Structure 1
Amino acid sequence: MELIMLAAGGLGLILFILSFFLKDHSKNTEEELQELSMSLYQELSQLKKRTKLLEEELMIEPDSSQRKARPKQINEILINQVLSLHKQGMKPDQISALSSLHISDVKRIINH
């Protein structure tokens, strides 16, 4: 009985000493988790900033003076189609209904 008690005590002492020399994997895992959560926090923060900027850009509408000063750019192909339809005898309101252009843009292209 005493032999079993000594063997168990000796084994416990050996395992206790051995535990000081083994690497602690939980520290590495904890550090990796902390780095991951910091990087996710930074990415989330950047996404929030970008979203806020986009929301601000969408909320800002140009003044009427800016709209008049800078006419809308119209594709050359669309201009040719408008002129072709006008030569075929179509009225500006019909051309506007067929195209994605406002009637004022259609009239401006025809009169240009």
Structure 2
Amino acid sequence: MDLSIILMIIGIICIIVSFFLKDTSKKLEQDLEDLSISIYQETNSIKKRLKIVEEELLLEPNFTVKPKQRESFSRNMQSVPQSKDHTTGKAFQVNEILVNQVIQLNKQGYPIEEISKMSTLSKSQILDILKNEGNR
């Protein structure tokens, strides 16, 4: 037999065998697609949870972490801005995240009335925060 005939027979046999073998690349593509979809869903879920936590923190202006020691309590109290409410004359504490949010909203050009609605602080508290620029 001639070498060319042998090579043709081997080629034909390989083509016929390839029709009967399963294509593993399609399974890999499907697995990769499933993985990317699940990661996308988990990322969206985490973003939603984070948004809920941020909203809860903004709704609780007196939120403070309970310290383990007496020393850390005094340090925490120094880091939380204190101001005086002009309507009642009482001192109040504002969460640092809320202070940063008020400052950023003011820099973005929001009026004080709208910042008050968004942050659940009174107008006098917002004015005091902006006057101090969040400094302690």
Normalized per residue, the structure richer in strand is 2
Deviation readout 1:19-48 (Å, 9 max, x if unpaired):
000010011111111111111111100000
Deviation readout 1:60-100 (Å, 9 max, x if unpaired):
1369xxxxxxxxxxxxxxxxxxxxxxxxxxxxxxxxx89x6
**Distance in 2, Cα, partners of 1:52 & 1:40:** 18
Per the alignment, residue 22 of structure 1 pairs with 21
Q: Which amino acid in structure 1 is aligned with residue 4 of structure 2?
A: M
Per the alignment, residue 46 of structure 1 pairs with 45
Deviation (angstroms), 1:57: 0.8
Q: Which amino acid in structure 2 is aligned with residue 47 of structure 1?
A: I
- The unaligned stretches of length 5 or more in structure 2 are 63-69, 74-136
**Equivalent residue of 1:41, what SS?**
helix
Q: When the two structures are superposed, what TM-score results if normalisation uses the length of structure 1? A: 0.53
Question: Considering only aligned residues, what root-mean-square deviation do their CA atoms show, in Å?
Answer: 2.6
Normalized per residue, the structure richer in helix is 1
Aligned residues: 67
Runs ≥4 residues deviating over 2 A: none
Per the alignment, residue 8 of structure 1 pairs with 7
Identical-pair percentage: 45
Over alpha carbons, which structure has the higher Rg? 1
